[in-house]
Amino acid sequence: MHREDFPMLKKDIIYFDNGATTLKPQCVIDSVVEYMTNHTSNIHRGDYDAAVITNKLYDNVRNIVSSFVNCDSREVIYTSGATQSLNMVVFGYMKKHLKKGDEVLLNKAEHASNILPWIILSKQIGIVIKYVPLDNNYELTLENIKRCVTFKTKVISLAQITNVIGDVRDVYNIGKFCHENNILFNVDGAQSVPHMRVDFKNCYMDFLSFSGHKMCGPTGVGILVGRYELLEDMDPLCYGGGMNSYFEENGDYELKSIPTRFEAGTTPIAQVIGLGEAIKYLMKIGMDNIHEHEMKLKQYLLDKVKDIPNIIVYNTSSNSGIFAFNIDGVFAQDTSIYLNSYNIYVRAGNHCAKELKDEINIKNTVRVSMYFYNNYNDVDRLVDALRNSKDIFKIVL
């Protein structure tokens, strides 16, 4: 779908690395170029014409995000990406509200950005991290979560879609469970928000983090959505211009209101504008259409690789456009270099989910991650390349 919108697809490439970052459509490129060409200016002041245009576009992105994920626009904080958003939750909110012995439930399929901050916090203040076991398909179930909850459980933090296995977690029922049990629910939406409809309020989320560049937007911008009552009691991690109302020699100061108090310094203005454009673009295509299209392609790929010997697939059941595999006996990176010789772009590695190796007993996989602009022809070419992979070392060596 919509391949003609993407300048990079004019080249003969098959882009299957959408979990890492996505291609940019012309409308997003144009919006960034337009800002840089015709109305460059800083925000927070509107004394001249270009600044008025910029301010209006910039501020409106909060409204776009709020209708996209169903939250209040004052609950939308601009960040540099999902990683910064998650760090703000852990060190801006949790550090202030958790105490020694409080338990946080994670799981081993999480991205580094939703594990390492917690590990640091546990060293700083003594919270206890517990890993909820995954089921036989390496997926996370509410039943397993319930088994790990104790009266000390204060937070459940998880990716709505994980970036290696690609399972879609039942955030509605997990959120409801958290809500009923007074547990904070922190959702990493980096892989879900770009690919399916996500509902912040309806799923009782307390925090939701995602990145612009994984959803057709520019790099360097992301979003943290936080429940307003919680944001009132969250500390900024950064202090400086743009986020204070006043400060005095004697140390008195007052911070600006929410959400600007969390956005110190000059923010990524061009990127925020580009992200707004990207979200409008995605909403026009329809998130349900995107998800459905990816699922069709994934099923088509699964059916086709079934009869190729030597292909080990790790996530046949997961409900997203992520496909994790290895060619038996071939190191993941050799496979990705081989596929590059067919102009097929995939990713090899542990995908920042370093703890997953304990669960699947294999450290590195090759990941194909799809988006709406991939088509059956892309899958066919991947399948052909895999069929020919008997001679893989003739190509890569």
Partner 1 sequence: MDNDLRREIIMDNYNDPMNKGLIDDNSYLKTRTSSESCIDDLSFMMKIENNIIEDIRFDGEACAISTSATSIMIRILIGKTVDEAKKILNNYKNMIEEKDYDKNLLGELAVYDSISKQPNRKNCALLPNRAINNMLEELNKKNN
Ligand X SMILES: Cc1ncc(COP(=O)(O)O)c(C=O)c1O
- Residues classed as catalytic: 352
- Tokens linked to 287: 């998130």
SS3 track for 269-310: HHHHHHHHHHHHHHHHHCHHHHHHHHHHHHHHHHHHHCCCCC
CA-based nearest residue to 117, from 85, 148, 150: 85
**Any contact of residue 87 with ligand X (CB under 6 A)?**
no
361 binds partner 1 (CB under 8 A): no
* Residue 367 in contact with ligand X, rule: CB under 6 A: no
Do 287 and 69 meet the contact criterion of CB atoms below 8 Å apart? no
160 binds ligand X (CB under 6 A): no
Which of these, 10, 17, 29, lies nearest to 281 by C-alpha position?
29
First to last CA, the chain: 36
* Least separation in angstroms between CB 54 and ligand X: 24
Q: Is 204 left (phi over 0), alpha (psi -120 to 50) or beta?
A: left
Minimum distance between the CB of residue 181 and partner 1, rounded to whole angstroms? 39
Helix (H, G, I), strand (E, B) or coil at 214: helix
Which position has the token pair 């397993």?
Answer: 144
| 111 lies in the binding site for ligand X (CB under 6 A) | yes
Residue among 54 and 191 whose Cβ is closer to ligand X: 191
Query: How many of the chain's residues bind partner 1 (CB under 8 A)?
Result: 14
Name the minimum Å distance from CB 188 to ligand X: 5
Smallest distance, partner 1 to C-beta of residue 72, A: 40
Q: Is residue 390 part of the contact set for partner 1 (CB under 8 A)?
A: no
Nearer to ligand X by Cβ, of 113 and 260: the residue is 113
Judged by CB under 6 A, which of 211, 335, 365, 389 binds ligand X? 211
C-beta closer to partner 1: residue 229 or 328: 328
Specify the pairing of strand 365-369 against strand 311-313.
unpaired
Pick from 308, 350, 359, 380 the residue near partner 1 by CB under 8 A: 350
Rounded to 10 degrees, the C-alpha dihedral 361/311/344/381 comes to -160
Burial 210-243 (b: 16+ CB within 10 A, else e): bbbbbbbbbbbbbbbbbbeeebeebebeeeeebb
Q: Mark the segment that binds ligand X (CB under 6 A) among 77-85, 271-279, 329-337, 375-383.
A: 77-85
CB of residue 226 to ligand X, shortest distance in Å? 17
Which residues in this chain contact partner 1 in the complex, by CB under 8 A? Answer: 331-334, 337, 348-350, 363-364, 393-394, 396-397
Which residues in this chain contact ligand X in the complex, by CB under 6 A? Answer: 81-83, 111, 113, 159, 163, 188, 190-191, 211, 352
